[in-house]
Structure 1
Amino acid sequence: MICVDSSNVRAHQHSAGARKKKGGCATGWVEALAVDGEALGRSRGGLTSTIHLAVDGRGLPMSIILTAGQAGDNPHLLPLLAQISAGRDGPGRPSTHPDRVIADKAYSHPSTRAALRQRRIPFTCPERRDQAIYANRNVVERCFNRLKQFQDLATRYAKRAAYYRAEIIIASIVLWLRTDLQDTA
């Protein structure tokens, strides 16, 4: 089970003003780091970034995309799922096909439902018939709460999106390590 959501993070005034790269858009894995340049956008609250996060059933981060604050949620669902690969117990390639995707109404668009249906991935969104399964979605909210306990993640201070995303990944690794240590104790 994969739960997906996003959270806006205010950017400190010093995080703006990074130099633009020459030659247009970056290529390769750098594109995934910052979809909108340095992932800073204007909203009512000022400069913000949006963290799009996919977590597993235990609330541990599986995939992260960083966008500008005004970016919508729905366009980033399929790229989030494309970044996920989970190891298998036995031999074989890692699994890239989640058993189920749980998300809020921001991700409920006919094109998204059709794309997930084509991939044979069950999709749960808050509707009357899905309420029992949807109740499990709070694991992604709890993961955001744990990530934002790291001071540099609650407010973005980094000028470069790559640095800020690296901080999120390091905090995610810490969450994974804490869970592994608790499981072995």
Structure 2
Amino acid sequence: MTAQGFLKLAIESIGSPRDVARLLLSANISREAVWTAFALVVAMNAFVYGLGLVVAPPVGALPVFLAQPIGYAVVECVSLAGMIVSITLVGHMMGGAGRLTDVALLLVWVQALNILVQLASTVLMLAIPPLAGIVGVIAIAIGFWILLNFIDEAHGLGNMLKSFFVFVLALFALGIVLSVALTMAGMTPEGMMGNV
């Protein structure tokens, strides 16, 4: 895909998210290509995150694992993989038929769009700092709208309300699993914040 094609599809994702989802799902992208794209968006998100830390250093202390791009990459990888699995499983529980690879493909595309948002926010932090926050809030709302449509298309639910509940329950389930995993690993809030 060319840069021009990428930007065109990104814009279409805002106005016609269902059409974009159908286009991506009908492309018959191989499993290997999907997971390669997964690794690529994680790496790119971490790079842009690190760039943001340099451009606009955080005022307060960050959790230890978010103080460096590599830590952010690990968090991004685990959380994205967890959301892919949980949205797939919860979707099936609610009558959906989406495959793991299909859900992965659409969530990877959402993360690719997030890279554009992070880059735009980084530029705005340098040029017009107050506008960066506004753009961020708008981007979150649009991203959520795109995600709900993608979930609906991936699972064939035919109901945006169901898609919303799939997302909420998947997020809740992932939160519980991660909390238990961190507790079993002996990680505490104080430890994650480092010595502050």
TM-score between the two structures when normalised by the length of structure 2: 0.29
More strand by share: 1
More helix by share: 2
TM-score, normalised with respect to structure 1: 0.30
